[in-house]
Amino acid sequence: MQLHPCCPSCSSNELKHPIEIKDHSVSGEVFTLITCSGCGLLFTLNAPAAHEISRYYQSDAYISHTDGNATLFEKVYQLVRRFTLSSKKQLVERRVLLKKGFLLDIGCGTGAFLFTMKTAGWEVCGMEPDEGARAKASELTQTNILELDQLAAIPSTSMDVISLWHVLEHVHDLPSMLNTIKRVLKHSGKVFIAVPNANAYDAGWYGTHWAAYDVPRHLYHFTPDSISKLLKQYGLTVVDELPMHFDPFYVCMLSEKYRSGSMNIFRSLPLALASFALSLFHKRKASSLIYVVAHES
Ligand SMILES: [Zn+2]
């Protein structure tokens, strides 16, 4: 742990309200979340450094890098994924008012979104730090997938779209990442950042068992206000906030497992439905949000 910890967004060392959260999915270790008094960002205080964190991703349950289709859960997951991929494509094309262009997907995983966009005619480029996922993405999309340090080679103002689907909360070096995004985004371009929402209804209901804390893999636990303050420091501004409607179902199912020890869908489903329905009226309390981001004018 750092001796004099400070906020990764605004560098304030006035920190408050520590809460202890267990890593339920991999290590069983306990990590501390703390809130910055300056900008309100909730972050993981004692998270492992970038070179130490890979062992916390070693889990069969960490489904974002798998393409399994064996169990009922995996079949439903794949069905939902196909639907969300198509929704993301429509969202991107509507917001940038383009049907083709240059797209960079940061943290592209095994390349499903890149493949969807490339098939639709977009010029795509992906970055993925995990070697195994990178190889799969490269094979699927037939493009060279970049490593993290190769982002620096992307030409300035070259991208119409930059997407980070549940990625920014995993990024150790926020200044480097956000400066790169600002640099490579065209003046008319848009960034799509999906992250869990620490102000969500389901976060309040499940408390320390809320699955989307996902420590220590999630380094930051953003809210609409704290992410907006972070982006502003890099000359970026949030132009829209959109709820991700499927996320509460997955998050509540896992949270229920962490709270009660079993994957009881009859207990998690009513809460997920309530979170989904309430977020239609209070989108800033949705389980996860997509922030549509542009250059500050
Ligand atoms: Zn702060």
Tell me, in angstroms, the distance from the centre of ligand 1 to residue 204's CA.
22
State in Å: Cα 2 to ligand 1 middle: 16
Predicted local confidence at residue 66, as pLDDT? 52
Distance (angstroms) between ligand 1 centre and the Cα of 33 equals 13
Burial of 63-102, coded b for 16+ CB within 10 Å and e otherwise, reads: eeeeeeeeeeeeeebeeeeeebbeebbebbbebbebeebb
Tens-digit pLDDT profile for the chain (297 aa)?
455 799 999 999 999 999 999 999 899 999 999 999 999 999 999 899 999 998 998 765 554 545 666 788 788 888 888 888 999 999 999 999 999 999 999 999 999 999 999 999 999 999 999 999 999 999 999 999 999 999 999 999 999 999 999 999 999 999 999 999 999 999 999 999 999 999 999 999 999 999 999 999 999 999 999 999 999 999 999 999 999 988 998 899 999 999 988 888 888 899 999 999 999 999 999 999 999 999 998
Fold of 15-295: Rossmann fold (3.40.50)
Give the pLDDT of residue 149. Answer: 96
Domain chopping of the chain, boundaries = 15-295
pTM of the model: 0.93
Q: How far apart are CA 92 and CA 29, in angstroms?
A: 38
Q: Tell me how far the alpha carbon of residue 36 lies from the centroid of ligand 1, in angstroms.
A: 5
Distance 161 CA to ligand 1 centre (A): 28
